[in-house]
Structure 1
């Protein structure tokens, strides 16, 4: 998509894929991963507004803001005007230790460009009370789906700045799956192990394609009114997820979507739920954001006019459930023939990637992988 919003989508998607690769290569990475690239990009872009010097440059490079058409602030303003916000709620906030005075320019920029507030919150006397305040705000913004975003003991009187994001989405499929056709079958974890899980089934017309370059199938399942979609990228081979993750970038994903066409497809997809909780300092550091996390070196002087602030942590907690009716997701941190032939099949019975994207802007709102579905 061309223009200001298109360049923002490209930047956010590139950042998200780079961050995802850092997360999944971490020794602490869980099997199932679910993140919200857009939420993290927006909250870090707000931090970029408050940064200066080499701290700002590092954020700019990692967030791909250097080539952003129209600038960061205009791009986010335009996105929030174009995005179908009736389907999802996006909330961003910066909680600042109440030392000094937050500059009015920074507060106004966060509010006008990101619909966000910079809030001072004292951790001096009772860090747990501050933690509770943040967690309650996140819980409210995500309809109760994200609880205890910040774990006990994570904040202290030394905490200078806490980045918080919250996004909530609930959408019904454009055409729902019939629960009566759901069956139990094997989901293959690898060549030797499998689980018995519930598979949803449907035969209908979908955007469907195959990439020889990435050796995978791709399926698009639209949500109601087709403003948003879920994309499922399925490796052709059972153990192909790692290779697919290594090859996939924003350009490859965009090309993959152009290789789809509307076809009658027989699909089988597991019902699943993913809950994920992580801190992202190590992963963000590995993609080039370093100084912002170092006391005495971080330059966030455009926030309060001093060099006292640094980012102490970035928390990200996500939730998604996918069933016959649709999906509910939250993150705190989609030819005429003469004889009827059998339709192509799409059977997601081994690990795959999935995305929830906004079709009007191509922005990836959520992105994850399913390696092990729920036991049934």
Structure 2
């Protein structure tokens, strides 16, 4: 039998949940949020399109546990690299980032990515605490064009750095040192495979550490030890809150049953709960996808597309919700060469055919892509935004239950631009092991 939720402190926080009609009364002062909910994920946004495809490619590996990465940083760095490429190398990079809708409209992918980076930089410290860095490392390569370096830094915050003349161990030490600084002093996990950077290699590296700030905190009094039913059953700290919303006007028409959102694909269906929680001041949101039953995420992951997720969130209704989340820090270090190659980026890795003539005037036959590396950390904690202590409590009606005691998918998006900052999954929560199940 699944553990039951204890009596919670009733406080207020905006949420969106896909399910049937419900009512919530708001009588007192609310945290500062926009007048209307954020739009659903833009179908033509390159960060969502690339992010979901990369995620599915990563999850095709049975060893993938608790992955987390930044689609926005990967997409913006590849966009910058595409600006320094030509021929089939450029077309393959462009195809990675172009969606059917953006191709049809002839829209640029550079502008939305650059705009999202600026938006998140401006929101840092209000809705969340963020450390983020991107760099293009070169190994014994021709000089990088000043024009390319200047534009990449200005538009996409992609700095250029040179790897030393040492061996692979020296390269890894330098890369890990850079990642530690980019993560705000946090030591990232070792790379799953050693990087063997040959002369002429270009290595794209992203490092991101994120901690969201809620509208109201999950207080210590409302936390306790519970069982997380993941790949291993573990005892973890669970944070509980009853929350309500100050947003109104949603009338869902999506086929649903109570808190269950039903999606179909061919001959099978998956039931899940979808919860969107705007962070402090509403500048960013956390979106959680939780299978209705205790199971692995495999069936839900096969179903996910940007179009379907956008449709689900368009049908979201606003209501009071009792939410329980594990206190966790999801971290991962990824090398994305295999996944990007499977998505069509093939020429860039081959020094004989790669064309990065815009990166360096003397690059013909001398430059190639040697790696796309990602260090990321996503902390789920109870902290709220600045000024939360001055807010008055609100009445909460009869709340629905969102009890995240088993694996779930998590997104973090920028509400000003809709870009996907982070995506990941919690398959396993660290704690005292009980027994294996999933």
Q: TM-score, normalised by structure 1?
A: 0.84
Match of 1:18 among 42, 53, 62: 53
Relative to structure 1, the CA distance from residue 146 to residue 50 in structure 2 (aligned partners, 3 Å threshold; closer, same or farther) is farther
SS in 1 for 2:311: helix
Relative to structure 1, the CA distance from residue 98 to residue 194 in structure 2 (aligned partners, 3 Å threshold; closer, same or farther) is closer
SS in 1 for 2:289: strand
Render the CA deviation track for 1:64-122: whole Å, top value 9, x for unaligned: 27638652443334334444534134432211224322223322321222132233x25
Match of 2:261 among 188, 211, 215: 211
Match of 1:137 among 178, 182, 186: 178
Q: 2:138 maps to what in 1?
A: 96
Q: 2:195 maps to what in 1?
A: 154
SS in 1 for 2:368: coil
Q: 1:60 maps to what in 2?
A: 94
Q: 1:262 maps to what in 2?
A: 318
CA distance in 1, matches of 2:293, 2:299: 10
Relative to structure 1, the CA distance from residue 115 to residue 291 in structure 2 (aligned partners, 3 Å threshold; closer, same or farther) is same
Relative to structure 1, the CA distance from residue 28 to residue 372 in structure 2 (aligned partners, 3 Å threshold; closer, same or farther) is closer
Match of 2:285 among 229, 235, 253: 229
More displaced stretch, 90-99 vs 307-316: 90-99
Q: Is 1:313 the equivalent of 2:313? A: no
Aligned counterparts, 1:1-376, within 5 A = 10-29=45-64, 31-64=65-98, 67=103, 70-87=107-124, 88-119=130-161, 121-125=162-166, 128-147=169-188, 154-158=195-199, 160-189=201-230, 194-206=233-245, 210-213=260-263, 215-239=271-295, 241-305=297-361, 306-325=364-383, 342-376=398-432
Name structure 1 gaps, 5 residues minimum: 1-5, 328-339
CA distance in 2, matches of 1:90, 1:9: 24
Instruction: Quote the offset at 1:345 in angstroms.
Output: 0.7
Between the two structures, name the one with larger relative contact order (CA 8 Å, sep ≥ 6): 2
Relative to structure 1, the CA distance from residue 161 to residue 81 in structure 2 (aligned partners, 3 Å threshold; closer, same or farther) is closer
| Number of residue pairs the alignment of both structures matches | 355
Name structure 2 gaps, 5 residues minimum: 1-40, 125-129, 251-258, 264-269, 386-395, 433-438
Q: Which structure carries more helix by proportion?
A: 1
Instruction: Quote the offset at 1:168 in angstroms.
Output: 3.4
Relative to structure 1, the CA distance from residue 129 to residue 177 in structure 2 (aligned partners, 3 Å threshold; closer, same or farther) is same
Instruction: Quote the offset at 1:298 in angstroms.
Output: 1.5
CA distance in 1, matches of 2:425, 2:110: 31
Relative to structure 1, the CA distance from residue 158 to residue 14 in structure 2 (aligned partners, 3 Å threshold; closer, same or farther) is same
Relative to structure 1, the CA distance from residue 69 to residue 225 in structure 2 (aligned partners, 3 Å threshold; closer, same or farther) is farther
CA distance in 1, matches of 2:115, 2:330: 31
Q: 1:3 maps to what in 2?
A: none
Relative to structure 1, the CA distance from residue 169 to residue 9 in structure 2 (aligned partners, 3 Å threshold; closer, same or farther) is farther
Q: TM-score, normalised by structure 2?
A: 0.73
SS in 2 for 1:311: strand
Relative to structure 1, the CA distance from residue 244 to residue 8 in structure 2 (aligned partners, 3 Å threshold; closer, same or farther) is closer
CA distance in 1, matches of 2:163, 2:157: 23
Instruction: Quote the offset at 1:146 in angstroms.
Output: 4.3
Render the CA deviation track for 1:19-44: whole Å, top value 9, x for unaligned: 00000002442x21111111111111
CA distance in 1, matches of 2:207, 2:107: 26
Instruction: Quote the offset at 1:221 in angstroms.
Output: 2.1
CA distance in 2, matches of 1:276, 1:24: 13
Render the CA deviation track for 1:264-299: whole Å, top value 9, x for unaligned: 111111111222122111111111111111221212
More displaced stretch, 71-80 vs 99-108: 71-80
Q: Is the 8 A contact 1:232 1:353 kept in 2?
A: yes
CA distance in 2, matches of 1:95, 1:272: 32
Q: 1:335 maps to what in 2?
A: none
Relative to structure 1, the CA distance from residue 323 to residue 45 in structure 2 (aligned partners, 3 Å threshold; closer, same or farther) is same
Instruction: Quote the offset at 1:46 in angstroms.
Output: 1.4
Alpha-carbon RMSD across the aligned residues, in angstroms, is: 2.8
